[in-house]
Amino acid sequence: MRNSEVLTTGLKEKGISFEENKEKVYINRALMNINMNHIRLNRRYRRTKRFLDIIGSMFGLLVFVILYPFIAAGIKISSKGPIFFIQDRTGKNGKVFKCYKFRTMHIGITKRGKDNEPIVTEEGDRRIFSFGRFLRISNLDELPQILNVLKGDMSLVGPRPYPVEECRHWRTTIPNFELRYAVKPGLTGWAQVTGYRGGNLNLKHMVFRLKRDFKYIESYCLLLDLKIIGRTIKQMLRRQTLAH
């Protein structure tokens, strides 16, 4: 059975149906092309993409150095605890790496997950302090991931890396979910700039987010990367990131 058939059958078993047939056809086609395009990515673009990652990260590092004193002071004034939040996330080929973020949540305030579901950040989450909410809305909480890009764990653009617990949950829920890790995860991605981002346990939402990850891998080109970066900057300036 092809990957596309496995995905379609698995989604039906989970009670997911697509109102428009073109959505199902698109995912089927993307799954069939994903491995071929990953080979094309390695042969033609890997070195160029890495070069652009380094150049972009050097600029990002400059922004990081300039803003760090102000962000660090805001975090310390708002909440007791460390400036950085370090979390295990899943990267290319399923490799786990340490992902860096500015801390946006209080230490010691816990949240219980339902049944065996992972704990995700939701809109109005009481764990987030006020300055942390500003960092999340402006995407500045992700700025330390410039270090992950320089280390080679991440790229400037790619499917967003999920926490290990979330990946474990979705791998057992959505067939072929792990195919999104055929490339390095990114600081920003096609799903994020098209409105699919943030913590979410809604199955249908995640299926359509996965579709956009496949779209990126299937359609990869440098112009697409630049388009995504441009949209990300525009959304940050307009505070339209849909973060919570």
Q: Judge whether residue 20 has pLDDT over 50.
A: no
pTM (2 d.p.) = 0.81
Structure-token pair, residue 17 = 């149906």
Q: How many C-beta atoms lie closer than 10 Å to residue 195's C-beta? A: 12
Delimit the domains of the chain by residue range.
3-238
Q: Which residues contact 145 (CB under 8 A, 6 or more apart)?
A: 99, 100, 101, 154, 187
Average pLDDT, the chain: 82
Q: Tell me the C-alpha distance between 116 and 161, whole Å.
A: 21
Q: Tell me the C-alpha distance between 84 and 103, whole Å.
A: 5
Contact 229, 196 (CB under 8 A): no
Cα 35 to its chain centre, rounded Å, is 20
Q: Which is more confident, 132 or 178?
A: 132
Pairing of strands 155-157, 186-188: parallel
Query: In the block, which residue shows the tokens 């004034």?
Result: 77
Contact 35, 182 (CB under 8 A): yes
Task: State mean pLDDT over 140-162.
Answer: 95
Task: State mean pLDDT over 237-241.
Answer: 74
Segment 103-124, tens digit of pLDDT? 999 987 666 666 677 777 777 7
Task: State mean pLDDT over 49-69.
Answer: 94
Query: Quick one: pLDDT at residue 244?
Result: 58
